[in-house]
Structure 1
Amino acid sequence: MTRRTTRPSWAVELYRRGRRLELMHRALGFATLALVTLAPLLIVVAAADPLHHSGFALWLVDGMDLSGRSADVLSQVFSQPRRVAGTTSMWGAVLLAVFGLSFAASVQNAYERVWRLPSGPWHRIWRQTVWLAALMVYLYVQVQTRTVLAGDYRMLLSVAIGVLFFWWSPHFLLGHQVRRRLLLPGAVATMVGLVGLRAFSYLVFTPLIVTNAVSYGPIGTILVVESWLIGVGFVVYGGALVGHVFCDRTGHLLEHEEPPEEPEEPPKRRD
């Protein structure tokens, strides 16, 4: 008599794959690299903006949905773009771009782990370079939409642009090894998570920034920003994982060649 096995529920499967991916650990790495390597690069790019000189602080204020005093406190922590533009040399900008590639490499590695693909060869670094430049453009466009539209229309436009970016990102970083239609659920899940994180930030981080600034000074504000970046990393990687599980549960991965998942070791039998 054959023994029938039942598949675990969505929640159990997501939890198991999240543990195998070390989701929280990767989210912490995402936040650390974003603050150490990506943030200085974004400050330099914002300083070179010849149109509005909006600055890196405005990108954070927009992403965290801050307003009022909390937005002012965050703006005071980071250098003004004109000052940065005057003190940054060409070699400094090049070094920042090189360090930014480590951030792109970590995102690529996470996508490879989600889709169980081998690590790409070193000469694919050009993909990381192009993706990093596309990320700069994506963040710039997201902020500039606030000058074009407002309210629900702006939110719909931002979500549409975000879905396109997170749909294209894994397809490009993985060297077109995964079909586009398999990556769409993950892009949608990522943007749903980012919208939820934005609402959470408005309710929690807005008053927390002011409180921490009074209690701990600028370092308190940076800790709040780091906490928000951890949430962003968790959503970006978790959204891709949700998309993979969705395709697996609906049978769409049957056409996608994927190495079998390593089975968990069975418990040892006691005599």
Structure 2
Amino acid sequence: MSRPTPRISWAVDLYRRGKELELMHRALGFATLALVTLAPLLIVVAAAAPFDHGGFALWLVDGMDLSGKSADVLAQVFGPPRRAVSTTSLWGGVLLAVFGLSFAASVQNGYERVWRLPSGPWHRIWRQAVWLCVLTLYLYVQVQTRTVLAGNERLLMSLGIGVLFFWWGPHFLLGGQVRRRLLLPGAVATMAGLVGLRAFSYLVFTPLIVTQALSYGAIGTILVVESWLVGAGYVVYGGALVGHLICDRTGHLLDHEEPPEEQPRTGGGQRAD
């Protein structure tokens, strides 16, 4: 019996690991928490900032590469954010913080599953809070560069900043249990996937937003945005999974499986070299 080619073997291994990770289920969770966290968070930040008040809608327009009527529809659905700061109550702020930390914890858990590490202790919640703040800053800066750069210069800068963020993020959330050099392939794969998602969005979601808005109103637009966020979650976790597989196949990864449940854990996860 002939052995499978290396390319097919890689694809089979990637599919198997994605199934073990429950990749689609995690992408759905990513999209749901992102919508209830990033939307109000970016709206409030944009309203408080002294720059362009684009908020969540402008970030979506940029990330999905929308223009014309589809961009106008998004702006109408998510509305102008100028009153967001004054109308945000204490209870609303608490809920936003809870959902935000839940979103960060979900991403952290996904990275832990990709690298087969035990769940981090509860006091690492400060890492989740810092990561969420840096994520908000990263997204906001990406949007604001529209007014400074254009064309290839902005593309190269966005790619560089994105690789740095997705390189730093897993290392920070995992508490340094995985060496930086092992996380770089995953960061590059994640950005490559986001570029592909942006191109797909331009071809598919740009006309779909308009037709869904005409057929179902605001809820149709929100469903399209949620679908795009599912794709973004799939790319974030899938990119990390591809990076892990590359390190594993090239022999740069030590075996650091989770310890059996019946054995007491006396320390943190084993360090990947």
2:186: which partner in 1? 186
Contact 1:70/1:206, CA 8 A, preserved across alignment: yes
1:218: which partner in 2? 218
Q: Find the aligned partners of 2:235 and 2:175 in 1 and give their Cα distance.
A: 22
Q: Find the aligned partners of 1:109 and 1:200 in 2 and give their Cα distance.
A: 28
Question: Alpha-carbon deviation of 1:260?
Answer: 7.0
Q: Find the aligned partners of 1:191 and 1:160 in 2 and give their Cα distance.
A: 9
1:131 correspondence with 2:131? yes
C-alpha distance 134-260 of structure 1, shift in aligned 2 (>3 A): closer
Q: Find the aligned partners of 2:164 and 2:130 in 1 and give their Cα distance.
A: 16
1:259: which partner in 2? 257
1:51: which partner in 2? 51
C-alpha distance 181-91 of structure 1, shift in aligned 2 (>3 A): same
Write the letter of the residue equivalent to 1:38. L
Give the secondary-structure state (helix, strand or coil) at the position aligned to 1:177: coil
Question: Alpha-carbon deviation of 1:236?
Answer: 0.2
Write the letter of the residue equivalent to 2:155. M
Question: Alpha-carbon deviation of 1:44?
Answer: 1.5
Contact 1:44/1:93, CA 8 A, preserved across alignment: no
1:116 correspondence with 2:116? yes
Question: Alpha-carbon deviation of 1:48?
Answer: 1.3
1:204 correspondence with 2:226? no
Q: Find the aligned partners of 1:48 and 1:217 in 2 and give their Cα distance.
A: 29
Question: Alpha-carbon deviation of 1:158?
Answer: 0.2
1:176: which partner in 2? 176
Residues 53-88 of structure 1, C-alpha deviations (whole Å, 9 max, x = no match) = 222210110010000000000100013111222311
Contact 1:41/1:97, CA 8 A, preserved across alignment: no
Give the secondary-structure state (helix, strand or coil) at the position aligned to 2:82: helix
Query: Please, which moves more after superposition, 73-82 or 14-23?
Result: 73-82
Q: Find the aligned partners of 1:245 and 1:41 in 2 and give their Cα distance.
A: 34
Give the 4+ runs in structure 1 shifted more than 4 A.
5-8
Count of residues paired in the alignment: 256
1:74 correspondence with 2:36? no
Give the structure-2-normalised TM-score: 0.90
Give the structure-1-normalised TM-score: 0.91
Provide structure 1 residue ranges, at least 5 long, that are not aligned to the other structure: 263-271
Question: Alpha-carbon deviation of 1:94?
Answer: 3.5
Structure-to-structure mapping, 1:91-110, within 5 angstroms: 91-110=91-110
Contact 1:38/1:103, CA 8 A, preserved across alignment: no
Provide structure 2 residue ranges, at least 5 long, that are not aligned to the other structure: 261-273
Residues 81-140 of structure 1, C-alpha deviations (whole Å, 9 max, x = no match) = 112223113442243122210000000000000000000000000000000000010001
Give the secondary-structure state (helix, strand or coil) at the position aligned to 1:237: helix
Q: Find the aligned partners of 2:178 and 2:212 in 1 and give their Cα distance.
A: 44
C-alpha distance 206-121 of structure 1, shift in aligned 2 (>3 A): same
Query: Please, which moves more after superposition, 110-119 or 90-99?
Result: 90-99
Structure-to-structure mapping, 1:19-34, within 5 angstroms: 19-34=19-34
Structure-to-structure mapping, 1:148-187, within 5 angstroms: 148-187=148-187
Contact 1:101/1:128, CA 8 A, preserved across alignment: yes
Question: Alpha-carbon deviation of 1:247?
Answer: 0.2
Q: Find the aligned partners of 1:162 and 1:25 in 2 and give their Cα distance.
A: 24
Coordinate RMSD, CA, aligned: 1.8
Q: Find the aligned partners of 1:71 and 1:54 in 2 and give their Cα distance.
A: 11
Give the secondary-structure state (helix, strand or coil) at the position aligned to 2:253: helix
Write the letter of the residue equivalent to 1:179. R
Contact 1:108/1:170, CA 8 A, preserved across alignment: yes
Q: Find the aligned partners of 1:260 and 1:214 in 2 and give their Cα distance.
A: 50
2:61: which partner in 1? 61
Question: Alpha-carbon deviation of 1:261?
Answer: 10
1:88: which partner in 2? 88
Q: Find the aligned partners of 1:106 and 1:40 in 2 and give their Cα distance.
A: 18
1:144: which partner in 2? 144
